[in-house]
Amino acid sequence: MAQYDLDLFTLGGGSGGVRAARMSAHFGARVAIAESGRFGGTCVNVGCIPKKLFSYAAHFREDFEIATSFGWSCAAHGFEWKTLVANKDREIARLNGVYERLLVNAGVEILRGRATLRDAHTVAVNGRTYRARHILVATGSSPHRLAIPGGDLTITSDDAFHLEHLPRRALVLGGGYIAAEFASIFAGLGVETTLAYRGRRLLRWFDAELGERLAIEMGRKGVTIRFGAAPVKIEQLAGGALETWFADGSSGQADLVLNATGRGPNTRGIGLEATGVEFDGDGAVVVDAYLKSSVESIYAIGDATHRLNLTPVATAEGMALAKTLFGGEPTAMDYDNVPTAVFSNPNLATVGLSEDKARGLGRRVDVYKASFRALKHSLSASEEQTFMKLVVDAETGRVLGAHMLGPDAGEIIQGVAIAVKLGATKAQFDATLGIHPTAAEEFVTMRETAA
């Protein structure tokens, strides 16, 4: 009798788990994957994809307004929330099927159910146990719950994708990318929206100027932003409205309160503790450069490690793990210069070091900036400002970071990220001709350093 039933058992059918499972099978491994919900994980079901679809929907009202300046007679004559949700659900169901077919075609055994570890090589699903040479934890993350009186009256971003109807007034709690995105979505769809954050600027992990300028632009688009506002209590009023009280004694009413104060890894209650796996303070699995935990046979990727909670990072980790275990190519993950975007209104994207981070590392830097009203807005009343910034090593000329706030920021930074990853210098940026007239050309035409 073989010592192991499988070469790899994967817990979780999100982007990272699916990539690891099918690529491992491609290398000839015997693989099973367990998923109790829908394939695709957070990104496909309650994250990147539906959020971007909602973001598109939220931009149309503004687009209609701008269109009149270009001679079009059009206006938003009404918005059907249920139509958007139904069409979103149809697309998500299609993607769920795509992920499952990828696994089936790769020869991965699919197990529908919640998997738990019995020991370092044994996993139980639906009353049956499997012995695996390697076990992969790819269980993703879940939104934090608000630990204040009345915190159970709030919804999370997971819930926001399935609302029966839009509220008239919404309060979004948080200052990260999820809070900024949903505040922009609600406001764009006509909801009276307030964003309350205990800190002093949005997106504290990003370049400081991006967070500061985003707050200004969101304010122009109708979002009321309150800084230094830490919620301490939520009460439901007689008419059904919710009143949120803050640490400074003030309060505000809304019909819906969205708690967007972060996410935590789904690593508890699946048997990891009994195996001796080491966790960090947030409950994430501690892994080495090759994604191995403190237990020889157990690995973890994606949000379960709480490193960079981004879908492309999880899929890259899944690929690296498959190469390491079954491809004969030990592959360590490279987390330098990972680009990312925030689909707020306006969009925001970044790659590389922020100005503060570069200086904190002891680098002497030159900073280049551009702020302008995009050509698209030149015929309208919009005062929206596009902002771009390059952080450059003053000694080598290498571009350490590129940051943008404005329409299609993610699309533009994706291209710039290639140059930053390759170690391009400011002189090489300058030697690149721009495409005129575009916003992106500003990245190769900035010549004067900022004060």
Q: Which residue has the tokens 């400002």?
A: 385
Q: At what angle do helices 48-68 and 81-106 cross, to 10 degrees?
A: 140
pLDDT more than 70, % of the chain: 99
Residue 249 to residue 244: CA distance in whole angstroms: 10
pTM of the entire predicted model: 0.95
Handedness of CA 155, 161, 166, 169 (dihedral sign): positive
Terminal-to-terminal C-alpha distance of the chain: 72
pLDDT at 78: 84
User: What CA–CA distance (Å, rounded) separates 309 from 435?
Assistant: 33
pLDDT (tens digit per residue) in 2-19 = 699 999 999 999 999 999
Q: Is the pLDDT of residue 167 over 60?
A: yes
What is the residue extent of each domain of the chain? 6-142+264-326, 151-261, 346-444
DSSP 8-state secondary structure symbol assigned to residue 224: E
The whole-number pLDDT of residue 214 equals 98
Which residues are within 8 A (CB) of 250 and not within 5 positions of it... i.e. 6 or more apart?
229
> What is the structure's pLDDT at 131?
98
Report the amino acid identity of residue 350.
T
- Pair of tokens at residue 147: 């630990």
Tokens of 396: 């080598």
Q: Let me know if domain 6-142+264-326 sits in CATH 3.50.50.60.
A: yes
Contact call for residues 272 and 117 (beta carbons, < 8 A): yes
- CB 446 within 8 Å of CB 371: no
**Helix (H), strand (E) at residue 407:** none
Eight-class DSSP state of 62: H
Is pLDDT at 1 greater than 60 in this prediction? no
Give 204-213 pLDDT, tens digit per residue. Answer: 999 999 999 9
In this predicted model, what pLDDT tens digit does every residue of 363-391 receive, in sequence order?
999 999 999 999 999 999 999 999 999 99
| CATH number, domain 151-261 | 3.50.50.60
| H-helix segments, 73-206 | 81-106, 157-160, 177-188
Q: Considering the chain, what is the average pLDDT of its residues?
A: 96
* 6-142+264-326 against 151-261: fold identical: yes
Tokens representing 109 are: 């055994």
The pLDDT of residue 451 is 77
- Which neighbouring-strand residues pair with 246? 231
Q: What is the pLDDT of residue 201?
A: 96
- pLDDT-derived band of residue 411, with 50, 70 and 90 as boundaries? very high
The two beta strands, 128-137 and 6-11, are parallel
pLDDT of residue 2: 67
Is beta strand 298-300 parallel, antiparallel or unpaired with respect to 399-405? unpaired
- Is the preceding peptide bond at 231 cis, omega within 30 degrees of 0? no
Answer yes or no: 436 catalytic: yes
| Residue 113: pLDDT over 50 | yes
At residue 45, does pLDDT exceed 60? yes
pLDDT at 77 over 80: no
The b/e string for 59-90 (b: 16+ C-beta within 10 A; e otherwise) is beebeeebeeeeeeeeeeeeeeeeebbeebee
- The SS3 of residue 317 is helix
CA distances for 130 relative to 3, 100, 140, angstroms: 11, 21, 22
* CATH dotted code for 346-444: 3.30.390.30
With both helix axes pointing from N to C terminus, report the angle between 15-26 and 311-326 in degrees, rounded to the nearest 10: 30
The band of 74, judged by pLDDT with boundaries at 50, 70 and 90, is: confident
Q: Is the pLDDT of residue 110 over 60?
A: yes
